[in-house]
Structure 1
Amino acid sequence: MIYREFGKTGFKCSVIGMGTYYDPLWILGAKVFGLKKGEKEHVDAVKAGLDAGINLIDTAELYGTEKLVSQSIAERKRDDLFIATKVFFNHLKYDSVIKSCNRSLRNLGTSYIDLYQIHFPSKRVDIRETMKAMEKLVDEGKIRHIGISNFNLQKTKDAQSAMKKYEIASTQMPYNLSRRDFEKNLLPYCRENRIAVLPYYPLGHGKLISQSNWPPELLNHIFEKYGIKSTAQMALNWLITKSDLIFPIPRASSRNHVLDNAAAADWVMDEDDMRKLESAFPL
């Protein structure tokens, strides 16, 4: 596993993380009926990732998986892990942010959250009110860094301008080889400001897993050159090679998938092959 600094936080994260969003039906079942289908398999998957050297885990109050993460990390050294969660857009008033954070801390079974993210921007709550609460949480030691998710460039700038003491540590957006609009303006801004990037849907909602969606000659070339057999590894390796600020968070659905994803950090794609992949999936 490769580790590098997460933006400007000083913490060395594994370049491959683990996401714990499963699907809307899973969320509905967990939150409304208390049913968590495949929970044991998901916990086993996260534990397998930790054993493989992954130390970055992403969750959210919306997902209903914070307690699942708590189970997965119970026997691990907390300071070795980088745990990220999110506050939903209907909890962005000052008092609601504080309450949501305290609830997430209880669910995660931890005394602090490494990265607390605003899941979606709000049309009703002034970002300055939300950031005031976020900075208060940093001051109290309940969170260590502040992130955003699903913010466009202007809203990202607004979020940073609303902060008085700290900086935006990260942003989370859909980004993968087949969906590269993120590169037009947000990626350059992140590079300029050393903001870490957590691409979700790094495998294109499964599109980049199917070999039928890849040019056969290119697929065979990459497989033979690097000795791999996984399209997921190709897609993830392209992301982590693209920038040292990028930390994809593919879903931790099963042990085998997580171990395959982790192996994407065992090799380095050269610049010529990076260009070939980008030509196959142009902007």
Structure 2
Amino acid sequence: MIPKALTIAGSDSGGGAGIQADLKTFTVLGVYGMTAITSITVQNTVGVFGVYDLPAHVVYNQIKVVVEDIGVDAAKTGMLSSEEIIKAVSKAIKDFRIENLVVDPVMRAKSGDSLLAPSAKETLIKELLPLALVATPNIPEAQEMCGFEIKGLEDMEKACKVIYSFGPSYVVVKGGHLEGDKKVDVVYDGKSFHYLEGKYVLTKNTHGTGCTFSSAITAFLAKGEEPLEAIRKAKHYLQSAIEKSLDIGHGHGPLNHMWML
């Protein structure tokens, strides 16, 4: 039986992030991908020109029918732009006992456009994060959740502990926004810190890195990997996807999800 993974996220019409990036990642990593679309964005490499949320009950029902018919070995959440959608997704995760959940707390697009209503942040922290096996905030997202500036490794470790206290079993604070030739992600499992190094790649084509990383973790979890190993393997996949990124469009181009092919 092929492993099955579900992405609960927004659609990116430019194809570089959101469910499009997730499905490409699932496919190339040998996992059958399914979707519960939360929002439709009018988006390209330059920016986000519109966000249209689906009704919360429609998001819930997409998850329901997929779980009941096909089954889900692992799932991830991406863009959940409203309080109502976050509550519907959290209810579905509990109602249908979805385990191996990766929460990518998407708050902004690469262009800087906001993708999360301010009122929804607290709901995400209180209702969704406690259900997560793995949470994968970048530094701006971690700063939003923790309420302090992150300037280096020590701050990242502190942020990991704060976010871990919200309920996920593993926290990955991604270091891509910090200066330096090496990009270090800090992983915390409640007992120990683990450090994943990646070399800096000089490219503007990094649209969809967060979506791709979280969906790669989800794919490896669906295949039965332990969380730490899933995170390590996802980091390796992402590094190569950035190194071989595609110069498409006039803004931040996408990663090359198909580099393995």
Q: TM-score range by the shorter chain?
A: 0.3 to 0.5
| Bigger strand share | 2
| Bigger helix share | 1
More RCO (CA 8 Å, sep 6+):
1
**TM-score, normalized by length of structure 1?**
0.39
| Larger CA Rg, structure 1 vs 2 | 1
